[in-house]
Amino acid sequence: MSAVLNHTVNNIQGEPVDLSRYQGKTLLLVNVASKCGLTPQYEGLEALYKKYHEQGFEILGFPANDFAGQEPGSNEEIQQFCSLTYDVTFPMFSKLVVTGEDKHPLYQDLIKAVPVTPHREGMENMLKQYDIEPTAAPEVVWNFEKFLIRKNGDITRFAPDTTPDNETLVSAIEADL
């Protein structure tokens, strides 16, 4: 079992969830935000979830306010936004920290397992165009960075601007199902 699944985190309602319950499934963990230019990815994530969920695929959404204050709401506000705006049905969790000294242990383990964000430079260049200084590697670059955890525990990391319909991401999911 992947060390990443040795964590208990609170769902968006504040109830503890032992991530080991997802052992044996193909998982996509995504740090999400409601007020980001990448927020429309919720639509693609939900489409992926609906398409592959019955085959053992799960998306776990982790709201984080680490980047330019783009997830300022309470858990209730986040849940309402996701439900009403994007009809999100995949599991959402309580807001947590994905970068810096206060980084949640789940994200510590994810980054330790895969310290390099592929194609990070493109996202960094885009952020700099908006006068935003990107985080330093190996930190999560921005909202909507993705970690694909295969059934065997192997993890692949995808840059935030990798859309849910990206051929490489979809192929990796399909290969594991």
Query: What local confidence, expressed as pLDDT, does residue 150 receive?
Result: 96
Residue 79 sits in which domain range? 3-176
Query: What local confidence, expressed as pLDDT, does residue 129 receive?
Result: 86
Query: What local confidence, expressed as pLDDT, does residue 28 receive?
Result: 98
* Count of domains forming the chain: 1
Query: What local confidence, expressed as pLDDT, does residue 14 receive?
Result: 95
Query: What local confidence, expressed as pLDDT, does residue 1 receive?
Result: 54
What global pTM score does this model have? 0.95
pLDDT in tens, 139-165: 999 999 999 999 999 999 999 999 999
- Give the C-alpha distances (Å, rounded to integers) separating 116 from 5, 57, 112, 173: 20, 24, 9, 20
- CATH code of 154's domain: 3.40.30.10
Query: What local confidence, expressed as pLDDT, does residue 124 receive?
Result: 85
Query: What local confidence, expressed as pLDDT, does residue 3 receive?
Result: 81
Regions of the chain short of the pLDDT cut 50: none
Amino acid at 159: A
Q: Which residues are designated catalytic?
A: 36
Query: What local confidence, expressed as pLDDT, does residue 34 receive?
Result: 96
